[in-house]
Amino acid sequence: MVITQVIAPTELTYTLLSSVSSNIDSNGFYNTSIGDIPDRVYSIALCRGDVQLDTCRSCINNATRTILQLCPYQKKAILWDRSDKCMIRYSNNYIFGTLETFPQFYGWNVKNVTSKEEFNKDLKTLLDSLRSQAAYGGSLKKFAAAIGTGPDILTIYGLEQCTPDLTSDDYVQADNEISTVETLHYDFGTIRAATDNFSDANKLGQGGFGIVYKGKLPNGQKIAVKRLSMNSGQGDVEFKNEVVLVARLQHRNLVRLLGFSLQGSERLLIYEFVNNGSLDHFLFGNILFEANNIFYNKLATRIQLSDHVWIGIDATNIIGGVARGILYLHEDSRLRIIHRDLKAGNVLLDEEMNAKISDFGMARLFGQDQTQGNTSRVVGTYGYMAPEYALHGQFSSKSDVFSFGVLVLEIISGQKINSFQNGENVEDLLSCAWENWHWRNSSKCNRSRIEDLLRILA
């Protein structure tokens, strides 16, 4: 059950709900309202499509008593009866013919199947068929049920239904959104096995939101698993809904969120595995040489003829890729997300050394506003954060633009924001950039490393 804003109990709600069970029709559906705006209350009652009228009215009657007992002071509430035969809902907002997929209730089946892939394929076939039948069933009842066969002659029972005041297109859209949650859900045991029980040997890194592990699924697919270390303040349903929204953010310069896994207090996010790791390893991990927009990195010995392995990075391509990814998050995505922790460690490089932004949407997954405003909990890395965000918690898309500028400075200088070395002096890279921009002299903040390269090769 979902409860929201607390107000004084209203006689309108009691009067409205007391009339529902006796007025529900043979199709198992009834919607009604009472009162004048802004105090008007709306209610919907729905019984499962295969339930007889007497059983339906009895179920609605029980559900009405229960919802008034559990939620006597709420503006809106929804309750699924324990018998799974009916649902009752009321709200101070207009809810008739309105598509909503939240809140959601999941009744997990604890039985095992021998082949998850085959079972899901057979289940999808059954549900797709039911969706079409239910969606276009008519204006009085949108309901369909059938029996299908799964792997090993397993019987699968399927049922789909929505309130008949929804249009057929709305029903299909709602069903697709609910199905998305299922496709994004990973079995916790499978992920634990894929990471060798979250072993230190598979640890890729650690950030403010949790530890990231490398993993390999039974089908051979490599994944990155973020084991969240903080309490999001959200329930499982809200968390799942946010995962679905973030997973829909698709761009070539964003790391793809594949899904999630839950078990008890454990919350895992499963991402695509990006081969070459994060940009900071290339910028600050034994960097030797930078010239003509190409960075070179000394890695471990791999061939007998030389003790150096070199990888070239096109800085222009990386900067452009990060810019395109941030533009998508700010302007072109449906969520309009502010990253709030853009830095070299959150820019990953694929096999072709293209930039992919990671950790976007994390503030949203932790129940925080994601567009603009003030926050008491500053999420980010000092040095990359805009002053108004670091000092006062004020953030907007401009906060990411500031962080992007810091990242560009690090890329063109090859030095960390908080440990810039100018000759024998250790300075702040931002201060150096500002001072030398003022005097139109950028060379001090972009020194060549040719001497370092020659010394190591000697």
Q: Which residues are catalytic?
A: 341
Contact 141, 168 (CB under 8 A): no
Contact 150, 234 (CB under 8 A): no
User: How far is it, in rounded angstroms, from Cα 211 to Cα 195?
Assistant: 12
Question: Which residues touch 437 (CB under 8 Å, ≥6 apart)?
Answer: none
Among candidates 274, 237, 242, 277, which has minimal Cα distance to 259? 242
How far is the CA of 99 from the CAs of 1, 24, 102, 163, 178, in angstroms?
18, 21, 9, 10, 12
Collapsing DSSP states into helix, strand and coil, what is residue 288? strand
Contact 131, 137 (CB under 8 A): no
Query: What six digits make up the tokens of 94?
Result: 């207009």
Please check if 216 is assigned to a binding site. no
Distance of CA 79 to the CA centre of its chain: 26
User: How far is it, in rounded angstroms, from Cα 358 to Cα 74?
Assistant: 39
Cβ burial, residue 153 (10 Å; 0-12/13-18/19+) = exposed
Annotation: binding site for ATP: 226
